[in-house]
Amino acid sequence: MGVCDAIEHYAPAGKPSAMNAPHLPKVAGIDSTVPPPAHTVSPAPQAQSAPTAMIQDRLAGWISDLTTLQELTERLARTAALDEALHELLRAGAALVGARRGLLVLEPADGLGPDTTVGLGLARADLGHIETVPRGATAFGRLLDAPPGTTTEIVSADLLADTGLDPRHREVAVRLGYGASYALPLTTETVGRIGAAVWLYDEPAEPGERQRHLIGLYARHAAEHLARLLELDRARTTEATLREELLPSRLPRVAGVQLAVRHRTSALGGGDWFDALPLPDAALGLAVGSVTGSGPSAVAAMGRLRASLRAYAVMEGEDPVAVLSDLELLLRLTEPARSATALFAYCEPALRKIVLAGAGHSPPLVIGERRTEFVETSLSAPLGMLACWEAPSVEIQTEPGETVLLYTDGLLHRTGDPMDRAFARLHAAAANVPKSMRDDPDAVADHVLRTVLPEGIDAVDSDEDVVLLAARFE
């Protein structure tokens, strides 16, 4: 990347010849250009000619430049998030052009976003001041609004000496204390212009030819990397939006029970889901589940499965086995290559009674003043694994103030422990919920998550979804 460009840019036009080589001065009447006799001793190795030293200096410069570019591009390549890459580009660019501050405006030409501005050595208030300058008077504005390929860089070596500088721009430059700027567009051949970077100097200055060449090479590579991260970020945003639309936007209010939920999706985008559905006769249906796979296809399958379960719950929710049997048949007919785990609970809050059935899913956990225990459900295969799924239902009676936790296996897998130890950790976390928190299902859910997952539910390096649904019966 850029190695040949760097060598070609700095390579000398030709080899120095004896005719144009500079003559060394005479010492003690001896002409240093006359070769010594064959029988005399050769000069010491350190007595090199000026052309040789010049070539060695250039070679050392090339090696230094290539090493710097390699280190900076490798650091950029290690960034996996768009925001992280934007800040790394700003830092590396500042080092290459000798600036202390800068800003990068991400504004893809296709208008699909995301549009954002990040700063280096500039607080959010400083960026706000810069945004008050008319767009056409800023370097990044001129780069972003210029026709493709017409502007490659904008050098403002002495802003305050520019008589044509916009008055508001002059006021902001004085306020923030910068006197010069150097700006580059960020473009790729396939995507086009995706943004512009501006580096700010405290005093009148501009990068030299060598610096401009290096930052040009780096910016071309960085733009390609940003374009890839931009595409990935858009896909994740679309998937997250779709997933949020497929899951309940809020939990229902049902007399006799309080609900709370915590849900996080992995970076890969999995198919864990939950639902809370008011049913006839003041009943409530609670469900959690997970489909195999990840990415958009898993999210779509999750949406279809959840919508079908809601329909079956309305028709025959008082029989959780029938609900899951119908769901299994639908999955086998419409998603033959996919399996799923699910748990459905039919709740009668007035009686504090729950009838539930599970298909390959982890058992619920009951938290009360006198007990903290897992509900004993029968072992059963996930949906879609057998020719016909069937398992008996289980009925439990809760006491006033007890909370039932429903969760997906991702909560256990994220601990990194074997399953038996993960279950023990979850049980211990639930048993140690402070009494002052037990009247609030939100507080119970947060305490359990903090205890089971000390690194937090938002760990970006995990490929496991997490769902935790808490129902406190009054």
Same domain as 355, residue 207: no
Residue 461 is predicted with a pLDDT of 61
Q: Give the total number of structural domains in the chain.
A: 2
Give domain status of residue 455, yes or no: yes
Same domain as 413, residue 311: yes
Same domain as 370, residue 254: yes
* DSSP state string for 200-215: EESSS----HHHHHHH
CA atoms within 13 A on the CB side of 250: 3
How much of the chain is in helix, strand and coil states, percent to nearest 5? 40, 20, 40
Separation in Å, CA 87 to CA 92, 115, 152, 355: 9, 15, 21, 53
Domain that includes residue 57, residue range: 3-11+50-237
DSSP state of 407: E
CA distance 322 to 327: 9
Residue 299 is predicted with a pLDDT of 80
Residue 460 is predicted with a pLDDT of 54
Same domain as 263, residue 186: no
DSSP state of 133: S
- Angle, vertex CA 120, rays to CA 115 and CA 122, nearest 5: 90
DSSP state of 30: B
Residue with tokens 């879609």: 384
Among candidate residues 216, 237, 258, the one where a domain is terminated: 237
Same domain as 332, residue 458: yes
Same domain as 124, residue 199: yes
- Angle, vertex CA 114, rays to CA 110 and CA 118, nearest 5: 120
pTM above 0.75, yes or no: no
Residue 313 is predicted with a pLDDT of 95
Same domain as 212, residue 138: yes
Residue 268 is predicted with a pLDDT of 67
Rg (C-alpha) for the chain, rounded Å, is: 34
Same domain as 257, residue 227: no
Residue 18 is predicted with a pLDDT of 36
Same domain as 225, residue 255: no
CA distance 90 to 360: 49
CA distance 367 to 244: 29
Residue 342 burial by Cβ neighbours in a 10 Å radius (0-12, 13-18, 19+): buried
Residue 390 is predicted with a pLDDT of 77
Give domain status of residue 40, yes or no: no
The one-letter amino acid at 134: P
Same domain as 374, residue 329: yes
Spans of the chain, pLDDT less than 70: 1-49, 239-246, 267-269, 387, 459-461
CA distance 404 to 5: 65
Among candidate residues 237, 260, 279, the one where a domain is terminated: 237
CB 394 within 8 A of CB 376: yes
Q: Would the CA dihedral through 218, 221, 224, 228 be positive or negative?
A: negative
Residue 186 burial by Cβ neighbours in a 10 Å radius (0-12, 13-18, 19+): buried
Same domain as 279, residue 201: no
Give domain status of residue 33, yes or no: no
Give domain status of residue 18, yes or no: no
Give domain status of residue 99, yes or no: yes
CB 182 within 8 A of CB 155: yes
CA distance 266 to 294: 9
Give domain status of residue 21, yes or no: no
CB 402 within 8 A of CB 473: yes
Give domain status of residue 325, yes or no: yes
CB 295 within 8 A of CB 349: no
Residue 49 is predicted with a pLDDT of 65
CA distance 419 to 464: 14
Same domain as 462, residue 371: yes
Among candidate residues 237, 255, 273, the one where a domain is terminated: 237
Q: Is 315 helix (H, G, I), strand (E, B) or coil?
A: helix
The residues near 371 (Cβ < 8 Å, ≥ 6 apart) are 402
Q: Is 469 helix (H, G, I), strand (E, B) or coil?
A: strand
Assign residue 321 the CATH number of its domain. 3.60.40.10
DSSP β-bridge partners for residue 155 = 182
Give domain status of residue 286, yes or no: yes
CB 169 within 8 A of CB 137: yes
DSSP β-bridge partners for residue 471 = 259, 404
Assign residue 94 the CATH number of its domain. 3.30.450.40
